């Protein structure tokens, strides 16, 4: 299986509009479907991070970006969106090659990237404050949303361009300046998008990027004293470290962390649509998705028939090269992650669950050089099993049956996570009642893994803090500032005294 790339890409840091090499050893990225070297990145140390943060600090404290009108920021963001739109195919191929995601999926994500930048531009143009004119005679006040300052944006490997677009344009629309740290596995599209931002006319110091490892570069950036706000997407374990460092420095944080979404199917649902969605939700992006519908809860009266149909459709999925237009499922991100996912498959077997599809690494038909796992469905799963409780982040679906709505809600909430859930029903009353009771930042009804730039996204419990995208996502990068103006004399409680002795 050959890569679409012949010579590896070489990237340095982008700091204040300049390509800055690093003295440290370079990081390499291999195509997870073939093992071929496709990219090399600089590895930022303390000095590189200091340079990037200092550039962003100068751009915020003394530069034009925070002082531009909302209309001017919107104009430059729209130009950025147009340039990204023109580069969609190239960016999609970078993400497909480095993540291992099918090219058809990557193209769809790049449409979302453009949509987020365009929507953030509209927010920059229309954001407003509030005013109070009836507080008292000769006394008025107004509140404005002011940018927080320097924003550190830490992006994971599973949706490199899309998750960057859920952070960067909103931070810029708010007037913040930024330092981006993409994943060490999937940095190429982020570097190219920063170049496009500079080409669009966004000041160089407003968008900086350093590449490197999470425990070194990422930790240095998120704990940096001159960073005012951190937006982090990644594992819950790492999110706790980011929160601890932010608490020490008293900086604002937004954390979008792990998930273990329930996909709840009631007997009165459109079962044909629900079956398609169950396959999509479980296996999109190889299951390497924080809102993956990894727990399928099916009402007992239709469970046998429905699960059999989901399994049938799963067996039709094509596993193969991400560059192949017909591929549905690509490789996992790297070998260590493959072993982790296979460890959960073993745990499923040991808990007496039954794998009715998949359950093994695929090495046939030219797949032997990559990290491929067959889409796997377990039935006979107990709610206490590890495969039901823990985030696997791979193509593994656990099926549990339920009796009624109360039972479904209990099972759906039986997790430390609370990022997203979904339910399928034709009864609007059931839809409202169950949605209200499921503890997650998002609940989809008769759809799954869906969304729009206007809709805020984030979790509860161990799934994180704060919200991304939408108007709430913009406000994550601002704080309210109140101005009080008294134009007349105020009667003070202390009496006015004249004279006296020293």
The answer to which of 9-18, 364-373, 397-406 has the lowest mean pLDDT is 364-373
Query: Would the pLDDT of 1 be above 80?
Result: no
Q: Please state the pTM of the whole predicted model.
A: 0.95
Model confidence at 3: pLDDT above 60? no
**Mean pLDDT computed over 195-199:** 98
489 pLDDT above the threshold of 90:
no
Domain boundary among 400, 418, 445: 445
Domain boundary among 445, 461, 487: 445
CATH number of the domain where residue 231 is located: 3.40.605.10
Q: How many CB atoms lie within 10 A of CB 67?
A: 10
221 and 237 inside one domain: yes
Q: Give the pLDDT confidence score for residue 417 in this predicted structure.
A: 98
Same domain (yes/no): 266, 230: no
346-373 mean pLDDT? 94
Indicate the average pLDDT of the chain: 96
The residues annotated with a catalytic role in the active site are 256, 290
Per-residue pLDDT of 141-178, as tens digits, reads 999 999 999 999 999 999 999 999 999 999 999 999 99
- Over pLDDT 70: what percentage of the chain? 98
Residues 188 and 276 reside in one and the same domain: no
**pLDDT per residue as tens digits for the range 99-128:** 999 999 999 999 999 999 999 999 999 999
Q: What is the pLDDT of residue 310?
A: 98
Could you tell me the residue range of the domain that residue 280 belongs to? 262-445
- 8 Å CB contact between 423 and 264: yes
Mean pLDDT over residues 437-446, rounded?
98
Statement: residue 93 has pLDDT above 80: yes
- Residue 499's pLDDT is 67
In a domain, 238, yes or no: yes
pLDDT at 501 over 90: no
pLDDT at 465 > cutoff 70: yes
Per-residue pLDDT, 500: 59
Do residues 278 and 447 touch, judged by C-beta distance below 8 A? Answer: no
The DSSP bridge partners found for residue 262 are 295
Average pLDDT over residues 429-451: 98
Spatial CA neighbour of 228 closest among 125, 128, 148: 148
Question: Last residue of some domain: 397, 424, 445?
Answer: 445
Structure tokens, 352: 């007496």
Q: What is the pLDDT of residue 2?
A: 41
CATH number, domain of 300, equals 3.40.309.10
293 and 203 inside one domain: no
Whether 228 and 149 have beta carbons less than 8 Å apart is answered as yes
Q: 304-350, pLDDT tens digit by residue?
A: 999 999 999 999 999 999 999 999 999 999 999 999 999 999 999 99
Residues 85 and 229 in one domain: yes
Residue in the block written with tokens 């990145």: 41
| Same domain, residue pair 207 and 348 | no
Given a contact cutoff of 8 angstroms between Cβ atoms, the answer to whether 239 and 271 are in contact is no
Q: Are residues 240 and 295 in the same domain?
A: no
pLDDT at position 462 over 70: yes
Residues 171 and 219 in one domain: yes
Number of domains in the chain: 2
> Which tens digits make up the pLDDT trace of 22-33?
877 899 999 999
């Amino acid at each position: 299986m050959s890569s679409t790339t012949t010579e590896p890409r070489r990237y340095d840091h982008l700091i204040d509009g300049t390509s800055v090499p690093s003295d440290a050893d370079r990081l390499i990225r291999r195509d997870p479907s073939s093992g071929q070297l496709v990219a090399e990145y600089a590895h930022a140390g303390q000095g590189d991070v200091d340079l990037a943060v200092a550039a962003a600090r100068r751009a915020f404290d003394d530069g034009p970006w925070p002082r531009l009108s909302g209309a001017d920021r919107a104009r430059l963001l729209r130009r950025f969106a147009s340039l990204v739109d023109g580069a969609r195919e190239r960016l999609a191929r970078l993400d497909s090659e480095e993540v291992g995601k099918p090219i058809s999926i990557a193209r769809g994500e790049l449409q979302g990237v453009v949509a987020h930048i365009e929507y953030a531009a509209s927010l920059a143009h229309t954001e407003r404050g509030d005013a109070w004119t009836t507080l008292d005679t000769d006394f008025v006040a107004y509140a404005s949303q002011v940018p927080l300052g320097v924003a550190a944006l830490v992006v994971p490997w599973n949706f490199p361009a899309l998750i960057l677009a859920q952070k960067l344009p909103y931070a810029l629309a708010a007037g913040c300046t930024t330092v981006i740290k993409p994943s060490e596995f999937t940095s190429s599209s982020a570097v190219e998008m920063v170049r496009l931002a500079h080409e669009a006319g966004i000041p160089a110091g407003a968008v900086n990027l350093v590449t490197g490892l999470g425990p070194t570069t990422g930790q240095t950036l998120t704990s940096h004293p001159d960073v005012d706000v951190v937006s982090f997407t990644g594992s819950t374990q790492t999110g706790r470290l980011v929160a601890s460092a932010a608490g020490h420095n008293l900086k604002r944080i937004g954390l979008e962390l792990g998930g273990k979404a329930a996909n709840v199917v009631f007997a009165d649902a459109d079962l044909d649509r629900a079956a398609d969605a169950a396959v999509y939700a479980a296996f999109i992006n190889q299951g390497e998705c924080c809102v993956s519908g990894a727990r399928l809860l099916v009402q007992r009266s239709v469970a046998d028939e429905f699960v059999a149909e989901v399994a049938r459709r799963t067996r039709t999925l094509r596993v193969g090269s991400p560059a192949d237009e017909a591929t549905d499922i690509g490789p996992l991100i790297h070998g260590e992650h493959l072993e982790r996912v296979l460890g959960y498959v073993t745990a499923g077997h040991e808990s007496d669950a039954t794998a009715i599809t998949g359950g093994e690494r695929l090495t046939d038909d030219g797949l032997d050089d990559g990290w491929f796992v067959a889409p796997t469905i377990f039935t006979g799963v107990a709610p206490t099993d590890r495969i039901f409780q823990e985030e696997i982040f791979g193509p593994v679906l656990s099926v549990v049956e339920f009796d009624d709505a109360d039972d479904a809600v209990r099972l759906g909430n039986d997790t430390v996570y609370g990022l997203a859930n979904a339910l399928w029903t034709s009864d609007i009353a059931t839809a409202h009642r169950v949605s209200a009771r499921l503890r997650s930042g998002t609940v989809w009804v008769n759809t799954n893994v869906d969304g729009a730039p206007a809709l805020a996204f984030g979790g509860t419990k161990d799934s994180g803090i704060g919200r991304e995208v939408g108007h709430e996502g913009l406000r994550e990068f601002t704080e309210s500032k109140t101005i009080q103006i008294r134009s007349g004399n105020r009667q003070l409680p202390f009496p006015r005294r004249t004279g006296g002795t020293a």
